[in-house]
A and B are shown apart, each in its own frame.
Chain A
Amino acid sequence: MTKYITRRIFYMFITFFLIATATFFLMKALPGSPISSASKLSPTQLAVVEAKYGLDQPIPVQYAKYMLNLAQGDLGNSFQFKNASVTDLIIDRLGPSLILGTQGLVLGVTLGILLGMIAALRQNTIWDYGSTFVAIIGISIPSFVFATFLQYWLAVQWELFPVALWKDGWMSSVLPSIALAMGPLATASRFIRTEMIEVLSSDYITLAKSKGANGFEIAFKHAFRNALIPLVTVLGPLAAGLLTGSLVIEQIFAIPGIGEQFVKSIMSNDFSIIMGTTLFFSAFLIVVIFLVDVLYGIIDPRIRLSGGKD
């Protein structure tokens, strides 16, 4: 176990290092710089500004500096937002994104588990088909299409919720959370359904039945708990999906979160923010996938973590 974790952490650092390096050089190779599009500067002024941001130094030096700062958690300064530190900008924007992500995940996974359980316990009935239908819709319809329709019907037409912006407190988080929840809901319900069906046909369920345990006890105490374990494995892809979703959904509902800032910074070529956010997203996903793998080994003793080969 310790050996496995050490190995995985080692790989995490290599992956992160490669991402940081690739991001840096891709950003340097970008045509245009944030300064060139900002204003009409004379060559002298341009030189002064470039010197201020260290853009006049050779690229290897800039790279070494960036990596050294990165190791200390300093992601550089933004060109766009009055020279603010990128780390601060990310932390400022973290709140709304975290709230939406958590609400979406919790709502989606809870409803998904419920739907999946109903489908498995009432296999091949109208309940089952209904839940499968919802799951297919949730997987298939792109989140931004779903979000725009939520916004159009519930906010613009019926005026139940605020259309956009993050100022009406909890009410403004409802629609974006529902839009984000669709993916996790679909994944969780399909997953739980197949797991439950498999568990329900296993020997220990037959034994529980022959002992005279009632249906409720079998469903929750025996089947559900064992079906839940493998759900941990999809948390990694779900987190990645939530991130992807947050980019468009924050845009649609004008939420001042990280995703919205990321998309804006791409448009304005603000490469310290692009890099900072990219690295933040990567680190987040790498850590989530790692935690999921380790957690899975801990909660299900049948899985032995070893070489990591499949």
Chain B
Amino acid sequence: MSEIPAELRYTRDHEWVREEDDGTLTVGITAHAQESLGDLVFVELPAQGQTSEAGEACAVVESVKAASDVYAPVAGTVVATNEALEERPELVNESPYGEGWLFRLEPEDPRNLEGLLDADAYTALLEEEG
């Protein structure tokens, strides 16, 4: 089983969400997601200031196998993106929970986080998907 940090929240689309002290949410893809995709060759990030509904595609991660949408885990406004990925998409493979973060959202409603999975539920999801 790949690494699933206990302090993060997760989505069923294999993204992780970290609540920062300032109330913003950092979003990335999980270790399992980057393993399944294989080596990333391109990351398309959202524009700063872009607003997205929950579940709306707002970034793309492309590997030699496939291009996959990354969805906004909750409704919100993009306040920062990880520009380092434009030159070095491999950071997502090397450090999915660290230097490989994708973007930061200002959530429309901070209570929306309730709908996300905790580490145990995400672990169960991975086991279920085999």
Please indicate whether A and B come from the same complex rather than being unrelated chains: no
